[in-house]
Structure 1
């Protein structure tokens, strides 16, 4: 295969997929560059004022309905700002049964960063570009966390939505 085809074919495929799955994306070139970037080896803790040394690895713990925990719970006072752990594109903002109020950001490497149990959203729109450190919302206990202390459930999922443990990236 010629050198030109090696990058043209994946580009065309990704642009078509991007426009089909994410019609709200206005800048396909930025999307393409974002997913081609490597995922950072280290990420900042996405809750303002929480230090890495205070984190506990809650990955894989038993959950209701026979599920395993696919993230890390970061406990903080209700209303504490939640910060984007990476730059990227907001791909989802809304409610779901388990996560309650959630925000999902597509970051480098095509990985999704999932922020759940928010008490409030920042003024964000789906398709919006955010930088690392952008406020996404505030810590809460919505969804299936309504009987727990306020916390952020932070998860990282690859392009196929397969979960990976965020703890090693945060410590």
Structure 2
């Protein structure tokens, strides 16, 4: 009896092992070979650069000269990503007055930096300033004589007369030439303005001396400020109020003062482009917009009929034309046709 018990006890582990090995196996290497699986992709956290969308950008004006790599260190942000965000290279140095673009998520750091002007924070790119008014222009790299003349609206004959002794076939990069006295621009046909276009301005418009008539007669009446094709009247147009009239002609067509007065503005004015505004003795004022060149300065006394500008297509304009307004005392616009004399056929 004892012998039978001992035999049964010894056989139990062997029997259990046999039963276990006969069960289906889900981790048997003969059925599942790990070596046959494709390797997992490597995750390199250090090489990942943050990707920012246009809606996630902020602009700050730089107060003092600072390197891009310095800002990258301040923000713990990749130099390459910051350079791409600002459209420059990683060795770039931001001069004072320039703009730095940063991801919106880094605003909490940007507003603490003394080299950034917190008060200039913007959610959209700042508009570039208009070019300065100048009487001279430099020959740029890649310029041909034809492209230089076309860009500044002068002819060969005019350029020679403004620069005595100049050899036009031997111009070098950086050479300064006088262009301020050019009186005519590109030979363009009159274009009827149709829809509002993008902002634009000439490269270097100059200010020419005012041409005073020999006997300026004082006058309270209006005259037509230029010659050309009447293309648009006063009133509602394209869903908004058109506060003046449009007259189209070639670039460089003279613009004259419609009445005696004093120049209250002469310079860049947003959608008006290069604008001249004249204040008159009864409180009314006139505006002359989209000019290519300004011939008067603020504070000048202007007689009726004196040339004040040359026609152009600066500001919100689709072709060379004059936008002319008459403003009542207080600034309200009125229909210029109610003040101007009938046009001759």
Same fold (TM over 0.5): yes
Match of 2:305 in 1: 133
Q: What is the CA–CA distance in structure 1 between the aligned matches of 2:219 and 2:301, rounded to whole Å?
A: 18
Within the candidate set 302, 314, 327, 1:142 is matched to 314
Q: What is the CA–CA distance in structure 2 between the aligned matches of 1:67 and 1:161, rounded to whole Å?
A: 18
Structure 1 residue 169 displacement after superposition: 2.1
Structure 1 residue 56 displacement after superposition: 5.3
What secondary structure is seen at the aligned counterpart in 1 of 2:282? helix
Structure 1 residue runs of 4+, over 6 Å off? none
Contact 1:71 1:156 in 2 (8 A): yes
Q: TM-score, length-normalised on structure 1?
A: 0.66
Q: What is the CA–CA distance in structure 2 between the aligned matches of 1:100 and 1:150, rounded to whole Å?
A: 12
Contact 1:38 1:108 in 2 (8 A): no
Q: TM-score, length-normalised on structure 2?
A: 0.34
Within the candidate set 224, 233, 254, 1:45 is matched to 224
Structure 2's unaligned 5+ residue stretches are 1-217
Match of 2:287 in 1: 114
Q: What is the CA–CA distance in structure 1 between the aligned matches of 2:298 and 2:272, rounded to whole Å?
A: 17
Q: What is the CA–CA distance in structure 2 between the aligned matches of 1:104 and 1:46, rounded to whole Å?
A: 12
Q: How many residues align?
A: 124
Is 2:270 the partner of 1:100?
no
Contact 2:219 2:260 in 1 (8 A): no
What secondary structure is seen at the aligned counterpart in 2 of 1:155? strand
What secondary structure is seen at the aligned counterpart in 2 of 1:94? strand
What secondary structure is seen at the aligned counterpart in 2 of 1:98? helix
Q: What is the CA–CA distance in structure 1 between the aligned matches of 2:219 and 2:250, rounded to whole Å?
A: 33
